[in-house]
Amino acid sequence: MKAGKSPLDRVLGRLDDLDEVNLGILVQRLARERKLLETVFDVIRDGILVLDDKGDISYANIQGKQLIGLKDSQSGQVSLMRAAPEIARAIGLDHGNDGIKAEVIVREMEISYPDLRYIRVYAVPIEEAFVKNTESQKIGLAIIMTDITEEKVSLDERIESEKVSSIMDLAAGVAHELGNPLNSIHIHLQVLRRNLSSQNSKNKKTDKSLTACINEVERLDGIIAHFLKAIRPQEPDFKNINLLKVIEETVRLKKEELSIQKISVSMEAGVREPIIKGDSEQLKQVFFNVLGNAIEAIKVNSTIRIVTGLEENFVFVKIIDHGTGISKEDLSKVFEPYYTTKKSGHGIGMMIVHRIMRDHGGDVGIDSKVGAGTIVTLRFPRNSTRPKLLESQITKP
């Protein structure tokens, strides 16, 4: 039993019997149906391409053209290999193949033109008889392209967030374990000092060395406590603060280090009182890390410039050094966890800076040139603590 024919098949089968009027009506109906289908395809969010047996694009909806950068005038006149070679190679339409393969192909891939995007490609062969009353077939291809860039980026961000979180947990554990022996050393040093004092020892050199050891242990204990507070994600305690005061307090914390290196700090305040809403302790950690990087990058007898000023919606702070600079290859990796070019670095300082600035609704930018120096720009919102997402509004009937 033969399969039932569609109304279009039955009409086309009687073309020879149609008069001029009925033929015109049929053509108009087909044109309307074609227009309807094209309208439907154009509102679909997925890209649709239809290829003929030679691999030329015979049809593309609006999204399909946008995804591969195809102009309206090129549709039907260009091969997929020329318009989108990455997709063509992915589905086997490179120069080494003869025509289109009669197989379904599914790929997830990255395309670089006209924009860098991730897409999911679903290619299905189209077969249709081209010689009447024979089994000979002409093979074309229908390609459905789904833009999964946001999905891919979101997944990458979640993976990165989980990786950073695990690193933070590891670092916190290590810092905590370091604190235990330091406390023990501190207690024993205090006992040793009391014993020496009770014996009325007059050895000033021993007493001086002992005092230095106690001071260094206390300093290390303070660094660990500061480090733990910085890497554990906490909601900022927002208050009105003067950025200049925070910077000055941070510079004082670095006073000894600056003195040893004979480095001076030049303050250039473009605004008398740059008031923002922020967490002063967290922002001290930001300036502490950025200043530390600048100190390590420059030579002795140098100067670090700190410039503050106002933009339309931001207060900015620029920390400028004329040190070794950062190469283009390294610049893109500065905020990655555990990435460092220093022999003694741990690679989490700038990652912490980035997190704190993000939590404050600000951003951090780095401009650098090898041999010339580095400018780190920190921008803070002037009128709000952080960007707020718009709440969804439900319209009641």
The CA distance from 175 to 183, in Å, is: 12
- The predicted-structure confidence for 2-13, as pLDDT tens digits, reads as follows 555 555 555 555
Amino acid 287: pLDDT:
93
- CA distances in angstroms from 234 to 20, 275, 279, 364, listed in the order given: 80, 22, 10, 19
Spatial contact of 281 and 240, defined as CB atoms under 8 Å apart: no
How many percent of the chain have pLDDT more than 70?
71
Domain range 236-397, CATH architecture: 2-Layer Sandwich (3.30)
- Please give the average per-residue pLDDT across 26-36, as a whole number: 77
Question: Residue ranges of the domains in the chain?
Answer: 44-147, 150-233, 236-397
Q: How many residues does the chain have?
A: 397
Amino acid 118: pLDDT:
87
Amino acid 388: pLDDT:
42
Q: Which carries the bigger pLDDT value, residue 38 or residue 101? A: 38
Lowest mean pLDDT among 97-101, 152-156, 331-335: 97-101
- Please give the average per-residue pLDDT across 349-361, as a whole number: 85
Amino acid 166: pLDDT:
67
The answer to whether the pTM exceeds 0.85 is no
Residues 44-147: name the CATH superfamily: PAS domain (3.30.450.20)
Alpha helices of 142-203 — where are they, by DSSP H? 149-198
pLDDT averaged over every residue in the chain = 77
The CA distance from 41 to 20, in Å, is: 31
CA atoms lying within 13 Å on the CB side of residue 268: 13
- Return the DSSP state at 146: E
- The predicted-structure confidence for 89-111, as pLDDT tens digits, reads as follows 888 886 555 566 667 888 888 88
The CA distance from 86 to 145, in Å, is: 13
Lowest mean pLDDT among 26-35, 148-157, 162-171, 292-301: 162-171
Q: For residue 47, with 0-12 CB atoms within 10 Å meaning exposed, 13-18 middle and 19 or more buried, which class applies?
A: buried
Amino acid 75: pLDDT:
61
- The predicted-structure confidence for 188-245, as pLDDT tens digits, reads as follows 787 777 777 766 656 667 777 777 788 778 777 766 766 666 566 678 889 999 999 9
